[in-house]
């Protein structure tokens, strides 16, 4: 199984062998026992972290493991998140010390119920104001990030919530230009300029 880890503009894909999900259950249970007594999550102390909060805490440990290049811990922390949150495909880790701002990413939104659970094509009729639309478009189109020697960006599909990654591009300039086109297209959709 794969967990996509987003840290600022960088993205890492952590491949977790299925056997690890089973073999590490004792280790996962120990992590859960440690969190049963509450946890300091940034400025807040959470007495009884729920499933999402526990995965946010583990994501923070994953960030520490990434900066220390500790392959074993990277895989174990990714495996914990994949096992505890079925359907999760990625995690966007907050690096500003606010663990509660770390986001879990799903192919299809699972944990976040939307006001209209089954969006009809006409349900996008509510047009956003320019500033609100710019803010939303900024959330729906990632910044350019480097993967190996190529550059990419990702766009969130509004109907499914799925992140669609661009193809690899040779230069950061090319990726930035294409990202700006995607951002403009999304902005036009939100303000009702397209279609």
pLDDT tens digit string along 136-171? 888 888 888 777 777 888 888 877 777 777 888 888
Q: Which long-range contacts (CB under 8 A, 24 or more apart) does 43-46 make?
A: 44/100
Range of weakest confidence among 24-33, 35-44, 140-149: 140-149
Domain assignment present for residue 128? The answer is yes
Residues 96 and 156 reside in one and the same domain = no
Instruction: Provide the domain limits for residue 153.
Output: 121-191
Q: Where would I find the H helices in the chain?
A: 18-23, 25-35, 51-67, 71-84, 130-140, 172-191
Q: Is residue 114 predicted with pLDDT exceeding 50?
A: no
Residue 162's pLDDT is what? 77
**Which residue has tokens 């986001």?**
103
Whole-structure pTM value:
0.54
Domain membership of residue 114 (yes or no) is no
- The average pLDDT across 55-73 equals 87
Domain total in the chain: 2
State the pLDDT at residue 112: 43
* Strands 10-15, 145-147: pairing kind: unpaired
């Amino acid at each position: 199984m794969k967990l996509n880890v987003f840290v600022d503009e960088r993205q890492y894909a952590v491949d977790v062998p299925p056997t690890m999900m089973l073999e590490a259950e004792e280790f996962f249970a120990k992590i859960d026992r440690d969190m049963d007594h509450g946890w300091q999550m940034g400025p807040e102390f959470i007495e009884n972290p729920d499933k999402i909060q526990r995965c946010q805490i583990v994501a923070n440990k994953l960030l520490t493991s990434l900066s220390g290049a500790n392959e074993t811990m990277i895989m174990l922390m990714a495996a914990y998140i994949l096992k505890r949150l079925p359907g999760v495909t990625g995690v966007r880790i907050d690096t500003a010390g606010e663990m509660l701002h770390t986001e879990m990413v799903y192919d299809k939104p699972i944990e976040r119920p939307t006001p209209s659970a089954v969006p009809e094509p006409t349900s996008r009729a509510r047009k956003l104001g320019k500033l609100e639309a710019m803010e939303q478009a900024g959330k729906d189109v990632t910044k350019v990030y480097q993967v190996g020697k190529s550059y990419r960006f990702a766009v969130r599909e509004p109907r499914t919530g799925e992140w669609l990654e661009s193809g690899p591009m040779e230069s950061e300039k090319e990726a930035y230009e294409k990202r700006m086109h995607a951002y403009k297209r999304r902005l036009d959709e939100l303000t009702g300029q397209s279609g």
